[in-house]
Amino acid sequence: MKANHRRPIALSLDTLLRISAKIGIYRALTFLFEDEAQGMLWLKGIHKSPHFAGNSPLRSMLEGGLNGLMSVRRYLDAWCSGNLDSGTHGDIFEPVAERDLIFI
């Protein structure tokens, strides 16, 4: 193994994109949920959002290949920024407005 001998290795673009998507999904889940159990519940749960068509995000990731991974990551990135529904109740987040800001 090249890595065991500290020699350079090359990863394919597909592998790098999959690693990036998984890290992004993990980071978004830790940002959005108080603990890992809540994040896993969301990931495994059935969602009413048209984005998941009544399936779980995990199923989208497993059955959709790279496109499924990237789709879940984009969804979570948008949710983190307040631009998508929560996927739990079909509620739509409103974009953050100036009236929402609190200065301390």
Ranges of residues in the chain whose predicted pLDDT is under 50: 86-93
Q: Which residues of 47-86 are buried (b: 16+ CB within 10 A; e: fewer)?
A: bebebbeeebbbbbbeeeeeebbbbbbebbeebeeeebbe
Q: What is the pTM of this model?
A: 0.71
Q: How confident is the model over 19-37, as pLDDT tens digits?
A: 999 999 999 999 999 889 9
pLDDT at res. 94: 56
Angle (CA) 88 91 92, round 5°: 125
- Give the gyration radius of the chain's Cα atoms: 17
**Number of Cβ within a 10 Å radius of residue 29:** 19
